[in-house]
Structure 1
Amino acid sequence: MGIGTLRTEAGVDIPGLEIAHQTWGEFTGDNAILVEHALTGDADAATWWSEVIGPGKALDTDHWFIICTNVLGGCSGSTGPSSPHPDGRPWGSRFPAISIRDQVHAEKMFLDHLGIEKLHAVIGGSLGGARTLEWAALYPEMVGAACVIAVSARASGWQIGIQTAQIQSIVGDPFWQNGDYYATGKRPDAGLAAARKLAHLTYRGELEIDERFGATAQQGENPLGPFRRDDQRFAVNSYLEYQGRKLVDRFDAGSYVALTEALNRHDIGRGRGGLNKALAAIEVPTMVVGVGTDILYPYHQQEHLSRNLGNLLGMAKINSPVGHDAFLTEARQMEHILRNFLNLTN
């Protein structure tokens, strides 16, 4: 859907903005729920969160009107680096750096075009959690309640460091070409795969990775030979290479850089008097959800949110060895948490 021109927080115009979306259920005027996807997600929330979205499930599409957009900067229909610029060529290096606030402003423009003036709730995890938190800060008059999952009030130094290392893996690929690789027939696939391998280790728990792979060799290979060889791997290395290939097949490196940089810029307190003052000013009833084994967004960061939010609806902890991704994989726990959240909002 074309929604016009967005001016970014840093002062750059993005004309001809497109926001892709999917919806489930019937809109009755007061039953809209916006679901926010994570970094490499898309608008098809009923697929990547199939255990909680659908008839009779926590996000019951017989009752709720579920909306999910593809985030600004993404590569699944919304405007991003791979999208056509108004001049017909891909945006590439001309696509500006964007913030979480820019992404939320774009979604607000999109909802205005749909004629939706009120959201019963906004729900999201990770990058989607950062957008959910910004929704509560930017548009409290529109948001009935928020469920903020597996994210912090701002990017920590550790998060910025690990995320920038991923960006550098991509921009250091010889096929990156300053982001203008789209018409060359060559993509920075090796850089994107390397970034994904590094990121995946932060998405999964140390316990889960060790229980699954430990120090075992990949079948038919010997990583303990007299010389190190790329084709003689530990099992975990084979697994990470597989994860890298999977992402390369479905995602754009330019979008990965743009969205990761947006996470680096996440700071709910910027321009609002600091973190605690900004959180205290949020009057939208907010549930905070964390994962006990999360390496990327440790649980103490959700505890900080819960202590300082102006209107805490509740807090929940997902118990799982999986780590950060548990909000996507622990279906039974998320089903219970989301049902409780919606019960508290009614």
Structure 2
Amino acid sequence: MPQLAPVGQLGTQAIGDVPTEAGAVIIDAQLAYHRWGEYRVNDDGISNVLLIEHALTGDSNAAEWWDGLIGPGKAINTDIYCVICTNVIGGCNGSTGPSSLHPDGNFWGNRFPATSIRDQVTAEKQFLDSLGITTVSAVLGGSMGGARTLEWAAMHPEVVQAAAVLAVSARASAWQIGIQSAQIQAIENDHHWHEGNFYESGCNPAVGLAAARRIAHLTYRGELEIDERFGTKPQKGENPLGAYRSQEQRFAVESYLDYQAEKLVKRFDAGSYVVLTDALNRHDIGRGRGGLNKALEAIKVPVLVAGVDTDILYPYHQQEHLSRNLGNLLAMAKIVSPVGHDAFLTETRQMDRILRNFFSLISPDEDNPSTYIEFYI
């Protein structure tokens, strides 16, 4: 039996050295994680583990950011499944990343290697191996988590029984690389960046990180939603139409973006933001596999695909492309929402239906497909 962290509590697991796709090594790494539910294995040797993959600035506490979906009797039923969510390698919430101490006692800083989505999966596979977990019932994730989920299905079909890929594409588009690179440049152009070695200086490239978040947040939300909420209204007590422009005289939408930026700066590391955004730029399921369509067709793990009709960052046509080319499409679902990309996090009722359908489809009980797989210790 794996020695897992107590239910709902943050745990860490040493995973050894992680080799990267580009030839570097992350020495003596660890991954942080949360888990809910008890670990079991069925007659076929398949564990009841569900691996949840978080998005770019998410963390391992999936029960918080997917509130309403994870728990006893919920769509992700912890009475049935052992739910595990790791903090991604390169992150800043307990896993080894740029802000972590290097084995030599100093910060990793800019010595932390560039990583790909495949490297993130490699680290997570080492995490499971270190715990003695050889199979998982399913992997689920959206956005960057969806990219990891797709790579799990491609890289380790012997481990993954099914996958739910949400709000992501088969590869980064030129538009995505462009908008994400603009965010990276905003951080790297901050005079406190110090080429990624700002940790020793006591400085923080907060201005650059805040600018990156403002850009990113506009891609996470729907254009109609933002316009309906804010339009051209001024922020209360401010006048953006004065004789001279002032940073203190804002439109309401500017104040909203400032608020989102301030929240992120308080909880997230600029070095991790750069590393993880760069990993998204490198996302390409077809690299080294004969191209996108050939790589997708080779994936035989049953995959549910879902997207958001108003997604600006990962438009719905990209999920349609996945659905047309995957080698074993389980189902296709559309989240209808004015919210945009973030709808896979905010539209709990729709996600509840999608996930319950997913689990019914991967159940082996053909006479009653809504019955979950029954596991035992």
Q: Which band: TM-score by shorter chain?
A: over 0.9
Q: Secondary structure at the match of 1:16?
A: strand
Paired residue for 1:4? 16
**Taking structure 2 as the reference length, what is the TM-score of the superposition?**
0.91
* Alpha-carbon offset, residue 291 of structure 1: 0.1
Paired residue for 2:44? none
RMSD between aligned alpha carbons?
0.5
Q: How does 1:271-286 map to 2 (within 5 A)?
A: 271-286=288-303
Residue number among 39, 48, 54 corresponding to 1:27 in the alignment: 39
CA-to-partner distance for each residue in 1:27-55, whole Å, 9 max, x for gaps?
Answer: 01221100000000000001111110001
Paired residue for 1:133? 150
* Alpha-carbon offset, residue 20 of structure 1: 0.5
Residue number among 166, 169, 175 corresponding to 2:186 in the alignment: 169
**Partners in 2 of 1:286 and 1:183 — Cα distance?**
45
Q: Secondary structure at the match of 2:29?
A: strand
2:206 corresponds to 1:195: no
Q: Secondary structure at the match of 1:118?
A: coil
Q: How does 1:142-161 map to 2 (within 5 A)?
A: 142-161=159-178
Unaligned runs of 5+ in 2: 1-12, 42-46, 364-377
2:259 corresponds to 1:242: yes
Q: How does 1:117-128 map to 2 (within 5 A)?
A: 117-128=134-145
* Alpha-carbon offset, residue 192 of structure 1: 0.2
Paired residue for 2:78? 61
**Partners in 2 of 1:191 and 1:144 — Cα distance?**
41
Aligned amino acid, residue 28 of structure 1:
R
Paired residue for 2:331? 314
**Partners in 2 of 1:4 and 1:114 — Cα distance?**
12
2:269 corresponds to 1:252: yes
Aligned amino acid, residue 99 of structure 1:
S
Q: Secondary structure at the match of 1:110?
A: helix
**Partners in 1 of 2:178 and 2:161 — Cα distance?**
35
* Alpha-carbon offset, residue 322 of structure 1: 0.2
Unaligned runs of 5+ in 1: none
2:351 corresponds to 1:331: no
Aligned amino acid, residue 256 of structure 1:
Y
* Alpha-carbon offset, residue 57 of structure 1: 0.4
Q: How does 1:72-151 map to 2 (within 5 A)?
A: 72-151=89-168
- Range 166-175 or range 112-121, more displaced: 112-121
Residue number among 287, 297, 302 corresponding to 2:319 in the alignment: 302
**Taking structure 1 as the reference length, what is the TM-score of the superposition?**
1.00
Question: Any runs of at least 4 consecutive aligned residues in structure 1 with deviations exceeding 2 A, and if so which?
Answer: none
Q: Secondary structure at the match of 1:19?
A: strand
**Partners in 1 of 2:334 and 2:318 — Cα distance?**
12
Aligned amino acid, residue 183 of structure 1:
E
- Range 297-306 or range 178-187, more displaced: 178-187
**Partners in 1 of 2:335 and 2:30 — Cα distance?**
35
* Alpha-carbon offset, residue 330 of structure 1: 0.2
Identity of aligned residues (%): 69
Aligned amino acid, residue 11 of structure 1:
G
Paired residue for 2:88? 71
Q: Secondary structure at the match of 2:160?
A: coil
**Partners in 1 of 2:240 and 2:57 — Cα distance?**
32
Residue number among 17, 25, 43 corresponding to 1:13 in the alignment: 25
Alignment length, in residue pairs? 346
* Alpha-carbon offset, residue 227 of structure 1: 1.1
CA-to-partner distance for each residue in 1:240-270, whole Å, 9 max, x for gaps?
Answer: 0010000000000000000000000000000
